[in-house]
Amino acid sequence: MAKEVIRQYLPLLEEEGRGAATGDDTGRDRHYLPELPDEDPYQAGHRTCAGCGPAIEYRWVLKAAGPDTVVAGPTGCMYVANSTYLCTPYTVPWAHTPIASGGSFTAGVAAGYEALIRKGRHPGPYPNIIVMAGDGSAADIGLGSISGALYRNHDALFICYDNECYANTGIQVSPTTPYAGMTTFTPFGKAIPEGKSLPPKNLAKMMAEGHPHCYVATTTVGYPVDLMNKTRKGLNHRGAAFMHCFTPCQKGWVYQTSMTVEIGRRVVEAGLFPVWEYDPAERTYHYFHPPVQRPVTDYLAMQGRFGHMLPEHIASIQIQANRNWQDIGMDVPAELREGEDPAAHLRLREETYSMPLNRGVGA
Ligand SMILES: Cc1ncc(C[n+]2csc(CCOP(=O)(O)OP(=O)(O)O)c2C)c(N)n1
Ligand code: SF4
Ligand SMILES: [Mg+2]
């Protein structure tokens, strides 16, 4: 007789008090974390760049998931920089997959564990099964295989760590590269002064709208507790879950290495990366309303990849941000409305912007 497949349950971490997102007035408490597990299934000693956003995301995700976890990683920085010959930073089983097949590989792992447990050939419980794919993989080359696995509802967590470029092969444009983001394939010049002229693909909304039975969430490395709780909710969800995590790439975006977490917050406060959860039971979106709303220049001016932007490019990003504020049910303050006019801006490299309160070393 088939054995029962027992699932794990991961309790949620405390988000109130100093663990919650705080504003400029109350201090940003970027380094405060609640009681966390001691285990670090993603250990130090890997070879990602200093300040690498995806490495921070990997660490929090695997800390939240714990030791009874199996991970897959399609080709990208987080495969190449993490696994040199005979050496990986993982203390849990980990597999590299081709860039196109993160979804199908993970579907196979999930179906395999179910079968082994039912047949009594694995004692269980069912492990946490996670794939962490870059944006080039999840939003582009491997999109079909991830969509297929979500559609078939395999019990696993599918994550896109989004550094808004094909980083590993030399910072090429990807579908999630923002408008005006400079990459080696979208240089600015006389013909196209903004660099990238297309808007980014809205991957997370595509996944939620297209797979309404799945748990879908967005988060950033600027909100570690939110990131870990969404990891746990995705794993606790019986069936397929998808999480889109904004992860700055220090090398590709050109900013001070200590600013990765700050940029992960500012993108939300600038209205450029809405943080939300989609609940498949109610079929509704729950939007996070940040305590601070900033002009987009507070975010853009921290990064060299936007340094070429002209006033009309900044205004067009502010228009997009203002639409996002309305979409998530927030008012647009007059100051941000004024930013829709190119006459309100200088060239980006001449703009002044507010620096973070908690400056890190070297900031
Ligand atoms: C089918 C295929 N095309 C191209 C490549 C080359 N390639 C290796 S890593 C990489 C970049 C992947 O980008 P992303 O998924 O965003 O991960 P990141 O490097 O940014 O972490 C590419 C294009 C490949 N390995 N396989
Ligand atoms: S290039 Fe970017 S994503 Fe890749 S290791 Fe460096 S900081 Fe991380
Ligand atoms: Mg990428």
Beta bridge partners of 128: 69
Distance 171 CA to ligand 2 centre (A): 9
Per-residue pLDDT averaged across 131-149, rounded? 98
Q: What are phi and psi of 178, to 5 degrees?
A: -70, 160
- Nearest CA owner, ligand 2 atom 2: 249
pTM: 0.95
Query: How confident is the model over 243-263, as a mean pLDDT?
Result: 95
Tell me if 132 CB under 6 Å of ligand 2. Answer: no
- Residue pLDDT, tens place only, 286-311: 999 998 899 999 999 999 999 999 99
Query: Which residue among 42, 46, 49, 256 has the greatest number of ligand 2 atoms within 8 angstroms of its CB, and so is best to mutate?
Result: 49
pLDDT grade for 218, boundaries at 50, 70 and 90: very high
User: Ligand 3 centre and the CA of 281: distance in Å?
Assistant: 31
Which protein residues are within 6 Å of ligand 1, measured from CB? Answer: 54, 75-78, 99-100, 134-137, 141, 163, 165-169, 174
Q: What is the mean pLDDT of residues 197-208?
A: 98
Edge-first strand listing for the sheet containing 241-246: 94-97, 69-74, 128-134, 157-162, 241-246, 215-220, 276-279, 284-287
- Extract the tokens encoding 287: 């939007």
Closest listed residue to residue 257, CA positions, set 51, 44, 43 = 51
The mean per-residue pLDDT over the stretch 261-274 comes to 95
Q: Atom 5 (ligand 2): residue with closest C-alpha? A: 48
Residue 362 banded pLDDT, cuts 50, 70, 90: very low
CB 145 within 8 A of CB 27: no
pLDDT for residue 351 = 77
221 lines ligand 2 (CB under 6 A): no
Report which protein residue has its CA nearest ligand 2's atom 3: 249
**CA nearest 69: which of 90, 38, 43?**
90
3-state secondary structure of 1: coil
Substitution candidate for ligand 1 out of 48, 77, 97, 99 with most atoms within 8 A of CB: 99
The string over 81-100, giving b where at least 16 C-beta atoms fall within 10 Å of a residue's C-beta and e elsewhere, is: bbbeeeebbbebebbbbebb
CA of 278 to the centre of ligand 1 (A): 28
How far, in Å, CA of 327 to CA of 74, rounded? Answer: 33
| Per-residue pLDDT tens over the stretch 333-349 | 999 999 999 999 999 98
Nearest Cα neighbor of 262 from 54, 27, 28 is 28
Tell me, what's the pLDDT at 34? 74
Report whether 242 contacts 204 (CB < 8 A): yes
Amino acid at 16: E
Using one digit for the tens of pLDDT, what is the confidence trace for 61-112? 999 999 999 999 999 999 988 888 888 899 999 999 999 999 999 999 999 9
Contacts of 166 (CB under 8 A, 6+ apart): 76, 134, 136, 172, 173, 174
- Average model confidence (pLDDT) across the chain: 92
